[in-house]
Structure formats: C-alpha cells, structure tokens
Chain A
Amino acid sequence: MIISILIIPALLIIAIVLAFIKKKDAYHAFVNGAKEGLSISVEIIPSVIAMIAAVTILKSSGLIEDIATLLRKIFPRGDYFAKLTPMIFFRPISGNASLAILSDVCKADPDGLICRSASIIQGSTDTTFYVIALYFTSIGVNKWRHTLKAALFADFVGIFLAIIFALIFFG
C-alpha cells in the first residue's frame, strides 16, 4: 500500500527536480500541457453527456438492480458481478462510458468493493474498439485479421485479474 501512496508525490518531486537540473521552465510546461488537456476535455463533453444519459437511464430503469437481485438468489457473489457487468461490458467499447459507470458505482461508496473493482478495471486496459477503428481507418485498412481477437483477449485478462485482485485484497 505504501507504494500506492508514494507514486504521485514521488513523480511530482522527480518532475520538479529534473526541470530544475535541465533548466526547463516547469511552470511554462505545465500551462502548455494543461491547455492541451483543456482542449481535449472540451472536445469530449458532448460524447460524455451522451454516455451519462445512457448510464443514468439504464440505472433508473431498475434493470441492473433486478438482474442483481436475481443473480444473488442463484449464487453468492451474484449481485457483485451484476453491478460490475456494465463496467465490464463497456470498458473495451468506450472510455467515456466506462468512466460514467465508474462514477455511478463510486457515488454511493467510494471506498467500497464495487468502486475499487471498477477502478482497477478502468486502469487495467484501454478502449479497444475505438482505438483499432481509429488507427485502421486512418490508413484505409479494412481486413483487421486477428487484431480484435488478440486485443479483446488482452482486455479479458486485464479485467479478469482486476476482479481477482479486488476480491483478494478488498473483498
């Protein structure tokens, strides 16, 4: 756990010290990077709101809740998996959607098992479909061969491990 706490302050120190040694203007670099960050953020606002809409409607329809209740009757960890299903399903499809779902499951209990599991899942892999489509479309490749299979297998391993870690260390 100590490592987790140290990563960010350590990076901060490294960045500032290196900027000092290399005589670079850290403040200037920060502002430039932040500007790029802002323009990316503004660009994704519409799709983020679209995703929040879908997630909110899905949640308020009670569908997930009912599936969770059903699964709880069938097997012991049923409701855990039911609550994580939207996260698992959306992670490879859309980064914005999975972030919206993460935010939704973390709202009630930001230190709970579901939120921690979703957090590890979010960090365990990247948006597969979007990235592959973006890169292949840019060069006019339409025969992807085994790209999707291999990439989705990587997602599967990442998400599977994320859940195992969550259950072992936070369960």
Chain B
Amino acid sequence: MGKIWGGIIFIASIYAIFTGRVELLLDGILAIPDDSFAFLIVVISSTVFWTGFMYIFKEVGIVDFISLAIKPLFRKIMPNLKDEEAIDYLAMNIAANMFGLGFAATPSGLKGIKRLKEISTMPEGVASDEMITFLVLNTAGVTLIPTTVISIRKSFGSKTPTDFVLFAIISTLCACIFGLLADKILRRPYLDDH
C-alpha cells in the first residue's frame, strides 16, 4: 500500500508540473483538509448510525440466526471441515459482515482462522484448503446494505441514493460463487518442496 500511495503522488505531481498544471495541483493539495472534513463527517456519522442500527439485529439474535442458517452452506462448500468450533466462528464472521458489523466480524474471523490452523494438517506457515475457501468467501464481501455509499450519495444530493443496492447484492453474490469455483479449480494438493 505504501509504495502505491507514494507512487501515485509522485507520478501525478510530476505529470502536473510537466503539463503546466502546477496551480491546479496546488489548489487541490490545499483543499485536502477541507475535502477530508466534509467526507469524514459523512463517513463517521454514517458508520455510527448504521453500526448502531445493525447492532439491534445482533442484539435480537438475527445475526446468530443467519449464522445458523448459513452453517449447512459451510458444510457443503467445505466438506472436509468437521470441526464445529471452526464452523461456528466462520459462519458468525460471514453473518456479521453481511450486516456491516465489521467490529463483530473480525474477532470471530480471527478466532475461526486460528482454529483452522490448530486443526490444519499442512506444514507450518502453509495455508490449508479451508483457510483459502474462507478468505475467498470473506473477501468477496457479501453485504446486505452498502450504507456508507448510500450516505455519500445522499450527501451530494442524490434523488435515488439506494438505486444501486440490488445490483450490488447480485454482483457480490455472483463474485462469491465464482470465487468459490476458482478456488475449487485452482486447488492442487500441496507438495512440500523442502
């Protein structure tokens, strides 16, 4: 990340200087604090409100229920994973992510992958099949409502800030399915070459 960040700033600044846009560049740079402020106000209040709202779902047991409901799915996509403790954590992680509850999702995800390591038959430092499948599922990122995006659009005066939600859900579900397929196709038995 650090290299990309530095690279972009370097290339863009050099480009601006050579194409005679130094003033525009300076204006842009000086506007960064102001722009950040406006952006952060929207992002922070949106995160505070939606995390609070979604937490009600956790409190009344909906997140646990979803986690229970997706457990059979986990048994389907990871047929070799028999460890109930690991399945519990992983399902909880995906369910909490669906509700945008990152703070509730990450701890259970970390516990889940730690458990996967304990039961892994792979050599030290090598990812097991289950770890890979879980991370593919996690990074495909099925989210019920992209709340921050809605808030940003709303703040710029969008008349239909939620019009994209359905398409986003379909895209993320397909991404999930194709990611799992890719995982299956790319999977080779791990041969220790040491």
Contact = CB atoms under 8 A, between A and B. Distances in A.
B73 interface: no
A120 B166 CA distance: 9
B78 interface: no
B149 A155 contact: no
Interface residues of B, number: 104
Contact of A149 (B116, B153, B182): B182
Give the interface residue-count category, chain A: 35 or more
A37 B52 contact: yes
Contact of A106 (B13, B55, B153): B153
Contacts of A166: 164, 167
Contacts, number: 339
A71 interface: no
A106 to B, nearest CB: 5
Given A110-B158, A111-B160, A126-B140, A57 B168 contact: no
A92 B40 CA distance: 21
Interface string A16-45: 101100101110011111111111111001
By Cβ-Cβ distance, the 10 closest A-B pairs, closest first, are A33-B55, A126-B141, A154-B179, A60-B28, A123-B168, A37-B51, A158-B175, A34-B52, A110-B158, A124-B171
22 contacts: A4-B164, A18-B61, A30-B53, A32-B52, A34-B55, A36-B104, A50-B5, A57-B8, A58-B9, A61-B13, A94-B1, A122-B149, A130-B1, A136-B127, A136-B131, A140-B124, A146-B188, A147-B136, A149-B186, A154-B176, A158-B172, A161-B170
